[in-house]
Structure 1
Amino acid sequence: MKKSILNMKSLDIYLSSLSKEKVNQIINFQESDDSPNLNLLSFDVYLQNFHQIRNQISRNNDILTVKNMSKKYNWSNDLDSIFKNNSFEALVLTDLSKRIVWVNTGFSEMTGYSKKFAINKTPRFLQGSHTSQETKKRIQQKLLLGTPFKEVIINHKKDKSTYKCEISIFPLKNNFTTHFLALEKIAL
């Protein structure tokens, strides 16, 4: 039953993208005994494209959210360049005390933690027994320098499994640093 509902929704989406003439041709199609059985495999292709479009919209919304915060805090960083030159699955924005003030949905998908849970915590809650002390020290030292950097750290998901996280951290500045933006992705 669920599959047929999904197929009907897919059909609705597909049909809404067609011209009236094409829709009428499909609706008025009459199958004869000698006509081939046509499976609608095109929906799989359409759905793949739909997911790509949805992911791009989500990414654009995340970037827009950060740009709106940039206006609020008068950051002088070239955010267009940052996002153009760095891929990400998750975004984490922290204040100077390294408390999380915002995360995107990708953060929840990557870690298993809700946005609400992450707010006002430091990213240290993702660290655990497999997290290297040397890596943590390097990150702390680089944060103090106030320049962008990349690092790979082993973090822990909510389910306690580990993952290698590549983080690109950018100090966000007006006259001085006010926040840190981390672009994160699973390291291979």
Structure 2
Amino acid sequence: MKEFAVYDQMMAQYYKSISTHILPLFSWEFYGEHFSAMSSFKEDLEMLKKITQKWNFDRNYQKELINKKSVIVITNTKLTIVYASHNIEKMNGYTPEEIIGSSPKMFQGANTCNQTSKMVRQAVKKQQPFEVSILNYKKDKSTYVCNIKGFPVLNKRGKLVNYIAFETAA
């Protein structure tokens, strides 16, 4: 019965924070998938809350993650990945654990547009937001077009501390 209490608490918190309508339950298989996804989103939101508590950043990452189904990737100032949301695996086959500590360049390959990569590097260097669509590579070496909205993140004293990207597969 403890599982139901945890479920009820999680779902109450979830429904307070988003606007969505869920279809009636037709199958336990669908229920299990939904519950698993909601649990993963809850874990992501808790981690993001910890990471972002010292940020001066007003973008609604909860809306991006849950409503828009964006993958969230956070790097440090040296552009090393320090966080990735669980849904990155669905987009490109990598688990968050596999990419933490790596550079986002790991998703690029021979057919990635150098001009687009250069534009991203320049925006990062100037600490400016950017929005691009770029050809990235999945873990299995197949390609996908990734829409990326990237933002520099400052702490409450105005110092650059991270970069955050909201990514979706086109």
* Structure possessing the higher radius of gyration over alpha carbons: 1
Measure the CA separation in 1 of the matches of 2:103 and 2:117. Answer: 13
Measure the CA separation in 2 of the matches of 1:100 and 1:141: 18
The structure whose residues are more often helix, as a share, is 1
Give the 3 Å change call, closer, same or farther, for CA 54–113 of structure 1 in structure 2. closer
Task: Write the deviation string for residues 14-53 of structure 1: whole angstroms up to 9, x where unpaired.
Answer: xxxxxxxxxxxxxxxxxxxxxxxxxxxx864554355345
Change (3 A) 1:118 1:46: same
In structure 1, the residue matched to 2:63 is: 84
Gaps of 5+ in 2: 5-23
Which ranges of structure 1 fall in alignment gaps of 5 or more residues?
1-12, 14-41
- AA partner of residue 166 (structure 2): L
Q: What is the aligned counterpart of 1:123 among 104, 107, 110?
A: 104
1:150 aligns with 2:131: yes
CA contact (8 A) 2:154 2:162 kept: yes
What is the deviation of 1:85? 5.8
**TM-score computed with the length of structure 2 as normaliser:** 0.73
Q: Which 4+ residue blocks in structure 1 deviate beyond 3 angstroms?
A: 42-54
State the TM-score, normalized to the length of structure 1: 0.66
Could you tell me which of 98, 102, 127 is aligned with 2:79?
A: 98
User: Structure 2 counterpart of 1:114, which letter?
Assistant: T
Check 1:116–1:58 CA distance in 2 against 1; reply closer, same or farther (3 A cut). Answer: closer
Answering whether residue 42 of structure 2 is matched by residue 63 of structure 1, we say no
**Aligned counterpart in structure 2 of residue 177 of structure 1, from 139, 160, 166:** 160
- Cα distance in structure 1, aligned partners of 2:97 and 2:37: 22
Asked whether 1:167 is paired with 2:128, we answer no
Tell me if the contact between 1:89 and 1:110 (Cα under 8 Å) persists in the aligned partners. Answer: no
**Pick aligned residue for 1:112 from 66, 70, 93:** 93
Paired amino acid for 2:45:
I
Partner Cα distance (1:152, 1:135) in 2:
8
Q: SS of the residue aligned with 1:150?
A: strand
Shift of 1:170: 1.9
2:115 aligned residue (134, 147, 152): 134
Paired residue secondary structure (1:105):
coil
